[in-house]
Amino acid sequence: MYVENLRMHKTIELKAEEKLREKEEFYRTIFENTGTATIIFEEDATITLANEKFAGLAGYAIDEIENKKKWTEFVAEEDLEMMQTMHRFHRIDPSATPKSYEFRFIDRYGEIRNIFLNIDIISDTKQRIASLLDITENKRAEEALRLHEEKYRTILEEMQEGYFEVDFAGNFTFFNDSLWRYFGYSKEELMGMNYRQYTEKEHSKELFQTFNKVYSTGEPTEGFDWQIIKKDGTKRYVEASVSLRKDSLGKPIGFRGIARDVTERKKAEEELKNVQLFNTAILDSIPGILYLYDDTGHLIQWNKQNEGVTGYSRAELKGMYVLDWFGSVEPDTSNIINSVANVMKNGYATTEARIITKSGQAIPMILTGVKLAIAGKDYLLGTGIDITKRKKAEEALKNSELKYRNIFENAIEGIYQSTIEGRFITANAALARMAGYDSPEELIE
């Protein structure tokens, strides 16, 4: 009977041990397959259990970690004090201490990784279990995004033009510094302000029609004049371009635009309406040629220098088409066509082209054009400066440079330039041969 009882107890013990092993295997399997790096460590920071994910993160084998490494060995020096403080507080009052936070993890090879940590105390023990999620790539992406946003925010704030965003009701929702300076209000005062508050009634209607057209067609509009009333009551003109603002799904949510203060230009245009366009004495004293084309591209006024430079008489100049001075020589003809288009679009343009005189001589000129709007019509006012001497000087300089470059490259002596540190800036072929190189470029690299 005694032997039977002994056997029965032994059987029970074996079954209990088997169940314990099965239970341990069950939890070990879960521990190994959590999908995150996980460790269990003692009160003295010794890691007693680590899974393969943690071993891979740390760069050690599991048997090099368990009961041989402390978690403090994997914390970057800058974060160690913070981590130790958090763990100390966690022992004192777990409920009042965050269970999740970030720190910098250092692996076997000294590489730093950003980690999101979850930690808790195992019930009825002094052990802690911690899971570590590698968020390094996320942090890098966040930093790249931050730098990207900072770059464009800097551009936006430093640009001279005013940038703005409004909702469909015409209330400001965002703007840069240049814009609120145009209006004379503080940022706080301008935010949320409706266009009717700084626009006269008659101009409000025009403004509404412009924005409504953008909404209806989906097409941006450029170069429309917008009169605003500043906080001090003075009136200013801005030239604006507006487009639809859409969300990530392509749904319109408002408008965005760029505005520049053109008050001084508008004043100049108003003054030109009240005075004679050209005063002959003044025009004839201007260096270079001066000309005025109407909205069809035909010459209607010029100064005396035009006749001397081009060789055409007054009768021949009158009504001459804008391209008649340039023949069909490329790229001069294309430059003029593009320049005229830019003047009509942007109000101002400068280009270089050769005027063909009546005798067939080509004279290189710097030509400047300004758009004038007078009595409902557009005009192009331009000036031209003869740059023949400059061109000859540039050609002479080019030839001189070519001459000395040939001397430099074909000299039998080694010639070079270098920095103070001895790094070659330039070198000729002779020096390369002396130094045993095939080309000067190898010395400079």
At residue 10, does pLDDT exceed 60? no
- For residue 69, give both structure tokens: 């490494």
Question: pTM for the full model?
Answer: 0.37
Mean pLDDT for 22-46 is 73
Residue 74: band (very low, low, confident or very high) from pLDDT cuts 50, 70, 90: very high
Residue whose C-alpha is closest to residue 37's, from 26, 21, 47, 51: 51
Q: What is the pLDDT of residues 320-377, one digit of tens each?
A: 888 888 777 778 788 888 888 888 889 888 888 888 888 888 888 888 888 988 888 8
Domains of the chain: 2-136 (3.30.450.20), 159-268 (3.30.450.20), 276-386 (3.30.450.20), 397-444 (3.30.450.20)
- For residue 100, give both structure tokens: 């999740």
Report the alpha-carbon distance of residue 369 to residue 285 in Å, rounded. 19
Q: What is the pLDDT of residues 168-207, one digit of tens each?
A: 998 999 888 888 888 888 889 889 999 889 888 888 888 8
At residue 38, does pLDDT exceed 80? yes
Mean pLDDT for 37-59 is 89
Neighbours of 203 (CB within 10 A): 18
Average predicted confidence (pLDDT) for the chain: 81
At residue 9, does pLDDT exceed 60? no
The whole-number pLDDT of residue 277 equals 52
Residue whose C-alpha is closest to residue 71's, from 99, 106, 100, 96: 106
The whole-number pLDDT of residue 151 equals 66
Q: What is the pLDDT of residues 99-142, one digit of tens each?
A: 888 899 999 999 999 989 888 888 778 888 888 888 888 888 77
At residue 280, does pLDDT exceed 80? no
Mean pLDDT for 262-271 is 79
At residue 314, does pLDDT exceed 90? no
| Contacts of 263-268 spanning 24+ positions with Cβ under 8 A | 263/236, 263/237, 263/238, 265/237, 265/347, 266/225, 266/237
**Secondary structure in 3-state letters for the chain:** CHHHHHHHHHHHHHHHHHHHHHHHHHHHHHHHCCCCEEEEECCCCEEEEECHHHHHHHCCCHHHHCCCCEHHHHECHHHHHHHHHHHHHHHHCHHHCCCEEEEEEECCCCCEEEEEEEEEECCCCCCEEEEEEECHHHHHHHHHHHHHHHHHHHHHHHCCCEEEEECCCCEEEEECHHHHHHHCCCHHHHCCCEHHHCCCHHHHHHHHHHHHHHHHHCCCEEEEEEEEECCCCCEEEEEEEEEEEECCCCCEEEEEEEEEECHHHHHHHHHHHCCCCCCHHHHHHCCCEEEEECCCCEEEEECHHHHHHHCCCHHHHCCCECCCCCCCCCCHHHHHHHHHHHHHHHCEEEEEEEEECCCCCEEEEEEEEEEEEECCEEEEEEEEEECHHHHHHHHHHHHHHHHHHHHHHHCCCCCEEECCCCCEEEECHHHHHHCCCCCHHHHHC
Q: If phi over 0 gives left and psi between -120 and 50 gives alpha, with beta otherwise, what is residue 44?
A: alpha
Taking the CA atoms of 154, 157, 158 and 164 in sequence, report the sign of the dihedral they define. positive
The whole-number pLDDT of residue 167 equals 92
Residue 24: band (very low, low, confident or very high) from pLDDT cuts 50, 70, 90: low
| 271 within 8 A of 294, measured Cβ to Cβ | no
Neighbours of 303 (CB within 10 A): 21
The whole-number pLDDT of residue 324 equals 83
Kindly provide the b/e burial profile for residues 371-383, where b requires at least 16 CB atoms within 10 angstroms of the residue's own CB.
bbbeeeeebbbbb
Find tokens 């970690």 and name the residue: 65
Residue 218 CB partners (closer than 8 Å, separation 6+): 244
Residue 63 CB partners (closer than 8 Å, separation 6+): none
- For residue 165, give both structure tokens: 């965003």
Mean pLDDT for 62-72 is 91
Residue 14: band (very low, low, confident or very high) from pLDDT cuts 50, 70, 90: low
At residue 231, does pLDDT exceed 70? yes
Pairing mode, if any, of strands 128-134 and 37-41? antiparallel
Taking the CA atoms of 210, 215, 216 and 217 in sequence, report the sign of the dihedral they define. positive
* Cross-strand partners of 40: 49, 129
What percent of the chain clears pLDDT 90, i.e. is strictly above it? 10
* Cross-strand partners of 289: 384
